[in-house]
């Protein structure tokens, strides 16, 4: 597709369950980012991938969060044993390279943990 | 660590009013600066960016922003807003090189007829 695609667009889960969120970046974009946006808050950086380099995981809030990326394509963000404070919109973005500045965002995955 | 402050949480303006949204950042070195916009029901998109050169940058839809290094500011302006400018606006900063963007909390702009 032409843009960044995220799925699911909405996910409601029960506390303690695991969830997987998927991001399909723009073809050719080597950098991929995950951000979290809680209600009334700004975008909180979680993790980024740049080509085949080791990802920068410095923003992951706890060891319940992990992410993988296959080459320069799809990425999956996994949240284990979800908590109510994990409820947020999870945004994925891609760019031609790290530091180029223009991020192209997907529409986000809205996660609600009951 | 870098941080970005957006002073206004929610701004309400009438059509044709002038707009200025504040953005300050905390980082002592060279920075790249950005404004992103999120229209209702749409994804975030780039409005304008500053890397170097002329500190007054122009973006899409008549928006501009001025980088004032001494004030660590990058305020967004538009001389005359339209109803279609209703959106949430995010200021962001990063240090050149391999660093991710750091975003402010956003300012919601509501333009009323």
DSSP for A63-80, please give it.
TTEEEEE-TTS-EEEEE-
Q: Which of residues 40-99 of A touch B (CB under 8 A)?
A: 40-43, 45, 48, 50, 56, 59, 91, 93, 98-99
Q: Is the pLDDT of residue A97 over 90?
A: no
B49 close contact with A: CB closer than 8 A: yes
User: Both tokens of residue B35?
Assistant: 């404004």
Give the nearest partner residue to B98 out of A35, A45, A50, using CB atoms. A50
For chain B, how long is the longest CA-to-CA vector? 44
Structure confidence at residue A105 (pLDDT): 94
Residues 6 or more apart whose CB falls under 8 angstroms from that of A103 comprise: A33, A93, A94, A95, B36, B44, B46, B101
Q: Is the pLDDT of residue B55 over 80?
A: yes
Average pLDDT over residues A79-104: 89
User: Both tokens of residue A32?
Assistant: 């991929």
Average predicted confidence (pLDDT) for chain B: 92
Q: Is the pLDDT of residue A15 over 90?
A: yes
Q: Is the pLDDT of residue A100 over 70?
A: no
Q: Is the pLDDT of residue B79 over 70?
A: yes
DSSP element (H, E) containing A10: strand A10-13
Q: Is the pLDDT of residue B2 over 90?
A: no
Q: In chain B, which residues have their Cβ closer than 8 Å to the Cβ of A98?
A: 97-100
A42/B90 CB distance under 8 A: yes
User: Both tokens of residue A33?
Assistant: 């980012």
Q: How far apart are CA A67 and CA A95, in angstroms?
A: 18
The answer to whether A11 and A109 have CB atoms below 8 angstroms apart is: yes
Q: In chain A, which residues have their Cβ closer than 8 Å to the Cβ of B104?
A: 42
Average pLDDT over residues A31-51: 90
Is the bond preceding residue A8 a cis peptide, omega within 30 degrees? yes
Dihedral sign for Cα B32, A107, B75, B77, please.
positive
Q: How many CB pairs under 8 A join A and B?
A: 59
What band does B27 get if pLDDT is binned at 50, 70 and 90? confident
User: Both tokens of residue A77?
Assistant: 């963000």
DSSP element (H, E) containing A92: strand A88-95
What band does B112 get if pLDDT is binned at 50, 70 and 90? very high
Q: In chain B, which residues have their Cβ closer than 8 Å to the Cβ of A43?
A: 90, 92, 103
Helix and strand totals (H; E) in chain B: 0, 12
Structure confidence at residue A72 (pLDDT): 78
- Summarize pLDDT for B91-105 with one digit per residue, the tens: 999 887 667 889 999
What band does B18 get if pLDDT is binned at 50, 70 and 90? very high
Average pLDDT over residues A6-25: 97
Average pLDDT over residues A76-91: 97
Average pLDDT over residues A61-68: 95
Compute how many other C-beta atoms are within 10 angstroms of the C-beta atom of residue A59.
Answer: 17
Q: In chain A, which residues have their Cβ closer than 8 Å to the Cβ of B102?
A: 45
Average pLDDT over residues A84-88: 96
């Amino acid at each position: 597709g032409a843009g960044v695609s995220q799925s699911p667009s909405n996910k409601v889960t029960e506390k303690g369950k695991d969830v997987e969120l998927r991001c399909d970046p723009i073809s050719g974009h080597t950098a991929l980012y995950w951000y979290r946006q809680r209600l009334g808050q700004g975008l909180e950086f979680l993790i980024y991938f740049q080509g085949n380099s080791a990802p920068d995981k410095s923003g992951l809030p706890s060891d319940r969060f992990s992410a993988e990326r296959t080459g320069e394509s799809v990425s999956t963000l996994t949240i284990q044993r979800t908590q109510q404070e994990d409820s947020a919109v999870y945004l994925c973005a891609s760019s031609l390279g790290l530091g180029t500045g223009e991020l192209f965002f997907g529409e986000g995955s809205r996660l609600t943990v009951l | 660590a870098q941080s970005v402050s957006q002073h206004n949480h929610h701004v309400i303006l009438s059509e044709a009013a002038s707009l200025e949204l504040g953005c300050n950042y905390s980082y002592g070195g060279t920075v790249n600066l950005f404004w992103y916009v999120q229209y209702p029901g749409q994804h975030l998109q780039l409005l304008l960016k500053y890397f170097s050169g002329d500190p007054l940058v122009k973006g899409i839809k008549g928006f501009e922003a001025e980088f004032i290094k001494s004030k660590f500011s990058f305020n967004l302006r538009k001389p005359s807003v339209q109803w279609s400018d209703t959106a949430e606006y995010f200021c962001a900063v990063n240090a050149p090189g391999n660093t991710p963007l750091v975003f402010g909390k956003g300012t919601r702009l509501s333009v009323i007829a």
